[in-house]
Amino acid sequence: MSDCLFCSIVAGDIPADKVAETDEVLVFRDIDPKAPSHLLAIPKEHYVNVAELSEADADLAGRLLATLTSVSEISGNTEGYRVVFNTGQLGGQTVDHVHAHLLAGRQMTWPPG
Ligand code: 5GP
Ligand code: ZN
């Protein structure tokens, strides 16, 4: 999608600090980190949210999960981490290209607010 920020990152039109990449998934650093390690994992193909992705291609959704938890910065974090898919306006989603937040490096609180 031409007017999608994360599609522009996938296309290389907007720079990003990439930490992992496959032919179908990209993991990069959040520009405004909410934890010492704050990564975003996205499918390169455009889907609006995790519901649309998992409905359209459950295998890709599974591979996205597998990729994000295999990122060394996260998988090496034996003390724990948090995976978040903000979904829709009330869910706090501001970029309408499905992305998993991977947060690590500090104590997470619950409920998240
Ligand atoms: P959401 O609010 O949709 O769950 O998450 C969107 C995330 O994208 C936010 O955490 C925000 O900091 C991040 N973000 C917004 N613009 C950019 C950008 O241009 N580059 C990167 N790397 N992250 C961005
Ligand atoms: Zn997109």
Our answer to whether residue 46 is catalytic in this structure is: no
Q: Is the CB of 93 under 6 A from ligand 1?
A: yes
Asked if residue 112 belongs to a domain, the reply is no
Task: Say how far apart CA 61 and CA 64 lie, in whole Å.
Answer: 5
Asked if residue 46 belongs to a domain, the reply is yes
Q: How far is CA 22 from CA 19, 42, 53, 110, 113, in A?
A: 11, 11, 17, 32, 33
DSSP letters along 36-84, please? SEEEEEEESS--SSHHHHHHH-HHHHHHHHHHHHHSHHHHT-TT-EEEE
Task: CATH number of the domain at 49, please.
Answer: 3.30.428.10
Q: Is 40 exposed, middle or buried (0-12, 13-18, 19+ CB in 10 A)?
A: buried
Q: Is the pLDDT of residue 73 over 90?
A: no
The number of distinct structural domains making up the chain is 1
Asked if residue 65 belongs to a domain, the reply is yes
Pair 16, 97: CB distance under 8 Å: no
Q: Is the CB of 4 under 6 A from ligand 1?
A: no
Q: Which ligand is nearest to the CA of 7?
A: 2
pLDDT tens profile 45-72: 999 999 999 999 999 999 999 988 888 7
pLDDT tens profile 12-28: 999 999 999 999 999 99
Asked if residue 41 belongs to a domain, the reply is yes
**Geometric angle at alpha carbon 14, from 11 and 16, rounded to 5°:** 95
pLDDT value of residue 20: 93
pLDDT tens profile 75-109: 778 889 999 999 999 999 999 999 999 999 999 99
Q: Is the CB of 30 under 6 A from ligand 1?
A: yes
For residue 79, the enclosing domain spans 5-104
